[in-house]
Amino acid sequence: MRLTALLLCLAGPALAGPEAEIVILGEVHDNADAHLGQARALRDLAPTAVVFEMLTAEDARKAMANPGQLPTIWQDSDWPDYALYKPIFDAIGSAQITGAAAPREAIRAVYDDGPAALFGPQAARYGLDKDLPEAQQATRESLQFDAHCKAMPRDMMAGMVAVQRYRDAVFARAALDALTTYGPPVAVIAGNGHARTDWGIPALISQAAPGATTHAIGFVEGATDMPFDTVQIVPPAERDDPCETLTSN
């Protein structure tokens, strides 16, 4: 089966998993080895379309119309250097590039007004019309607090969770739209926090389209509490402490 072969080809121990229509490839954004792993997965999967967290729909249209402009399009974003992601684009082949990034103004609106208002008529299909269970909300606020170096007021974290829910739903919708338009298999490139199976993209796809099959692979730098269908450990990237400038003042 296609996904089984994909998992067996990855570096490290032999891995296996069921065939899936949508494969979510998580990442640590600044880790070159994670991106090389994603590239190997894409070559074996040969997807019809690849949904990117990092590109807006307009970015993707421009990239498909003129692939040579992709590095320029990329450098205008806030993501790590294009060179880190180049192996992924080299591995895409003839797949359609699809963008699912939300514009900054949309993110600001979600923070203020909640995810359902901006998402539109399908909000209930993705569970955005309901509050999260209390325990999950508290856990996710704590994770956001830690992710922001404990440098932001704790009462801002509910808005951060709302933004995360909105983005996960947008990515899930984009994956399902790509599946309908181009057929399986579809790949999604997104951060590990979006790829987790308990409340990330796979969970929202399962809620919105119970018949669609998914498989989430987390490319992580060590032991993780995040749930994935498959975990691939990659060497940690060398980086400065991202919290140093925020917590030293």
Question: What is the model's pLDDT at position 13?
Answer: 36
Confirm if 19 and 7 have CB atoms less than 8 A apart: no
Q: What is the pTM of this model?
A: 0.90
The Cα 14–Cα 85 span in angstroms is 25
What's the CATH code, domain 2-7+21-216+226-232?
3.40.50
Q: Which candidate, 182, 223, 175, places its Cα nearest to that of 200?
A: 175
pLDDT for position 15: 40
Residue 36: count of CB within 10 angstroms of its CB: 18
Q: Where are the beta strands (DSSP E) in the chain?
A: 22-25, 49-52, 96-99, 186-189, 214-220, 230-233
Q: Give the integer Cα–Cα distance in Å for 100 and 103.
A: 9
Q: What is the 3-state secondary structure (H, E, C) of 167-184?
A: HHHHHHHHHHHHHHHHCC
Domain boundaries, the chain: 2-7+21-216+226-232
Burial class of residue 240 (count of CB atoms within 10 Å of its CB; 0-12, 13-18, 19+): exposed
| HSE (side-chain half, CA atoms, 13 Å) at 122 | 15
pLDDT tens series, the chain, 249 aa: 344 334 433 444 334 345 899 999 999 999 999 999 999 999 999 999 999 999 999 999 999 999 999 999 998 888 999 999 999 999 999 999 999 998 888 888 998 899 999 999 999 999 999 999 999 999 999 999 998 898 899 999 999 999 999 999 999 999 999 999 999 999 999 999 999 999 999 999 999 999 999 999 999 999 999 999 999 999 999 988 778 765 555
